[in-house]
Chain A
Amino acid sequence: MTVSIPRKKVKPIRLKQYRFRITALGFAILLLLPSMDQWFGFSSKFKSTEKRILAPFPTFRFPHIMTFIHEFDQYYKENFGWRNALFHTYSYWKLVGLGKSPLPEKVVVGKNGWFYPGNSLNRVADQHQGICPLPLSSMKAIAEKLAYFQRQLAEQNTKLYLLVAPDSYSVYPENLPDFIKSTKQSNFDLFKHYLNQHTSIPLIDVYTPLIEAKKKRPVYCQTDTHWNDFGSLVASLAMVNRVRNDFPQLPLASLDDYRIKVLRGMGGDLTTMLALNKEFRDSVTYKIKPVSTLAAYQIENTPNSQMGLASSRFIGQHPQLPKLLMIGDSFSFSMNQFVPNYFGKTYIVRNTAFDLDLVKAEQPDIVVLEIVERNINLLVNY
């Protein structure tokens, strides 16, 4: 008869307890970390890149309890500890790890290091896919409005021009992501056709020169919504030479008037929105200087609270030349360096409205209204 030796009882390991204890501890610490960060500022090197004032701590005004609650909710949402650091990590993970835009409505991620504005900017992506074509009624209203401005200006011998700065979608469609298919006829094409048929307002074409110029150097920023300084120069020269057709006394504008220095690029407004402007930069940036015999002098700089970009006044080296008033958006800002060099006096105003009183007060010979392609429909409200 064999007697089986009882196996030594192994003491049960209380592993479940171990796992749940460390989970409990870890979770409790994680819940407390954001409050600690708010007090001690562990993550203070991560700044918000939202370009807006975050909600402040609300003041309680009895009996408006719900107002306080809503304000506090908003305050906490925008100020909780580690928020900016968490967003930065999220943004990097989405873009580098998953190859997707962290904020698709704000920024569209293209190919070869290109970024494009998203639909939050006047549905620009939808516009370029033909999803929201410019209605005929809008084109009619815009044409009538511009014709009215043209008539008003003609009374004081001022000539009106329209300059539409192309979106990066139009100039660099080859770097758009595959899921964005450009429409054959853009809103600008529709508008140009309508304007040419129904009005005599001269439309300055900067698209063709930009397409030509991009064969030599990049003309738009890869990480920004705007053209770069070289693109701005090309557009400025095209503008001056078109105006010169009607004002032959203006000097001929040429690339030879400038010395172009290529520098390492910086992060633009699109990658700044993603909080990745340090990680994703343009391949180049330009430092462009006119020859000394051409350079105009800036004599006034007026901050504009509405758009955040200042209006500037210049005086050229030949003050007897025609006087220019340019009303434009942010695309016109970099033109400050080039356009005034060819006019007697230049006033470049950043505005989203056509101010007839200003035109009457300034008495310019030429008015150029500049607007970016995606905002053509906004001309209805000018």
Chain B
Amino acid sequence: MLFSSAIFLFLFLPSFLIVYYIIPHHWRNAFLFTASLFFYAWGESVIVFVLLLSAFINFLAGKLIEQGKRKAGLTLSLVGSLSLLIYYKYANFLVDSVKGFAEVFMMPITDAINLAQIALPIGISFYTFQGISYTLDVYWGRIKANRSFLDYGTYIAMFPHQIAGPIVRYADIAPELIDRTLSVEKFGVGAERFIIGLAKKVLLANTFANVADTIFNAPDTTYSTGVAWIGIVFYSLQIYFDFSGYSDMAIGLGKMVGFDFKENFNYPYIARSIQDFWRRWHISLSSWFRDYLYIPLGGNRGSKLQTYRNLLIVFFVTGLWHGASWNFIIWGLYHGLFLLIERAGLARRLEKMWAPIPYIYTIVVVMIGWVFFRTENLPKAIMYLKKMAGFVPPETVNTFPFSYFLNIETIITLLFGLLFAMPVYYRFHEWVKALQTRFRFQKLQILFDSLYTVSLILLFVGTVMYLAADTYNPFIYFRF
């Protein structure tokens, strides 16, 4: 069940919220846990037991650690959680890779290696990392283990962050798991955040996706170098608004049920270096890798070479976390390489350069990296990069000229995309707040807030209009 689907918006969410707000306070975790399992099972059926198994393993591990069986607990958590992740997410990739190597070196084992396609449980990467962070925090004595599986299960399975993150740490929401407040205001804050996230996903990301998908799926003879750049610019905006939109929806839903999740994005496309980019992009993941992999590996406390090694390991795993394919691994290592170069001295030079240069450097590096992220395989990525660089002969069939993509809709969406990729909206609110504090014209302020809310409501209706269009499938002739 997607957040951007009618069934979630108009059936699951209102039904859930009505019951959630009516029932007594001490039943809420049980209801949230049950509803979250129902939400998961609706799309994934019995795979919900994988989620439950993963949650149970880490819950047990936490208890073992607290009972003094520290090594046993930690081993259970790491082996248990990671084996589920490896089996469901990476087994096919591993087998295919081994098979590929065997074929290249003409080894006679090719036919002997076979594995049926394993379906990837949605959100497994998120809940596995949440589980591991919990046991590691218990192991390091940062938090106490939870004694109630119901509470712990609620943390892991909670539907707002279940399928697309952010990676919420137990330590961050432990107090709210025990006692949280619900209020109309908090619900309103969450609703505002949810509407903005939904609009980012449906109005911006999906429009960017239409353009990017058309270009990336087209034969390379049908578009020019300029169009290839349009493709990657639109894809860069698509992935940002898609992912940050989902995070906004998760944060908004969290607030509606009384939780405060941390921010996951901080305008990554205004970063001045790749290091800065990773402080702003998918913050919950990068901070997870920093705290649970980079620092345990030694971080930057050892020699320069050790630091570089640690960085490359972290970004190799970061790439692999995003998907089981060589493209993701290369994407991760590519980012790791630039971080390494920045550490080696580029960062200092960037700081001294003319202000626009670091921005341009970062955005170009990031966009080139997205080519590996978007394309299905390495040959396609290389072909697309060649096209962007103009190393491919001019197109033979100019099916997709500039005019195909540049129309009122894409231009407006692009302008909004660029505007909202920068902290303009944030600054606007800051400015309004400052004005309100300074002048205190109550009627004017009420008028502004009313207009703002009406705009939000119209934005929601407009977004749902686009969702309705996705479900409309007419035919020329009657199909009865």
Interfacial residues, chain A to chain B (CB-CB below 8 A) = 10, 13, 15-28, 30-32, 34-35, 49-53, 65-66, 69, 72-73, 76-78, 80-83, 86-87, 89-91, 93-94, 98-100, 102-103, 106, 117, 121, 129-131, 178-179, 181, 225, 269-270, 272-275, 307-309, 330
B453, B457, B468: the one within 8 Å of A87 (CB): B468
Residues B479 and A51 in contact, CB atoms below 8 Å apart: yes
Highest count of chain A CB atoms <10 Å: which of B398, B456, B472: B472
Q: Kindly list chain B residues whose C-beta atoms are within 8 Å of the C-beta of A34.
A: 6, 10
Residues A13 and B442 in contact, CB atoms below 8 Å apart: yes
A76, A86, A121, A309: the one within 8 Å of B465 (CB): A86
Interface segment among B133-141, B182-190, B263-271, B291-299: the answer is B182-190
Residues B477 and A178 in contact, CB atoms below 8 Å apart: no
Near A by CB (< 8 A), chain B positions 347-405 give: 397-401, 403-404
Q: List 21 A-B contacts (CB under 8 A).
A: A20-B187, A20-B191, A23-B191, A23-B453, A24-B187, A24-B188, A27-B457, A51-B478, A52-B474, A69-B45, A77-B471, A80-B7, A82-B468, A87-B469, A94-B469, A106-B474, A131-B399, A181-B398, A270-B476, A272-B474, A273-B476
A37 nearest CB neighbor, chain B only: B10
A125 nearest CB neighbor, chain B only: B399
Residues B449 and A22 in contact, CB atoms below 8 Å apart: yes
B11, B399, B440, B465: the one within 8 Å of A90 (CB): B465
Residues B471 and A78 in contact, CB atoms below 8 Å apart: yes
Chain B 172-213 interface 0/1 with A at a Cβ cutoff of 8 Å (1 = within): 000000000000111111011011000000000000000000
Q: Kindly list chain A residues whose C-beta atoms are within 8 Å of the C-beta of B440.
A: 10, 13
Residues A52 and B188 in contact, CB atoms below 8 Å apart: no
Residues A50 and B469 in contact, CB atoms below 8 Å apart: no
Q: Kindly list chain A residues whose C-beta atoms are within 8 Å of the C-beta of B195.
A: 27
Q: Majority SS of interface residues in chain A?
A: helix
Q: How far is the CB of A184 from chain B (nearest CB, A)?
A: 12
B11, B397, B404, B476: the one within 8 Å of A131 (CB): B397
Q: Please tell me the number of chain B residues within 8 Å of chain A, measured between CB atoms.
A: 62
Chain B 401-423 interface 0/1 with A at a Cβ cutoff of 8 Å (1 = within): 10110011100100000000000
Bound complex: CA of A49 vs CA of B478, how far in Å?
Answer: 10
B184, B194, B407, B466: the one within 8 Å of A99 (CB): B407
Residues B398 and A20 in contact, CB atoms below 8 Å apart: no
Q: Kindly list chain B residues whose C-beta atoms are within 8 Å of the C-beta of A90.
A: 465-466, 468-469
Residues B477 and A27 in contact, CB atoms below 8 Å apart: no
Interchain residue pairs A-B with the least CB separation, the first 7: A20-B188, A24-B188, A27-B191, A86-B468, A273-B474, A179-B404, A19-B449
Residues A81 and B452 in contact, CB atoms below 8 Å apart: no
Q: Kindly list chain B residues whose C-beta atoms are within 8 Å of the C-beta of A307.
A: 477
Q: Is B101 an interface residue (CB 8 A)?
A: no
Residues A77 and B465 in contact, CB atoms below 8 Å apart: no
A29 nearest CB neighbor, chain B only: B457
Q: Kindly list chain A residues whose C-beta atoms are within 8 Å of the C-beta of B5.
A: 77
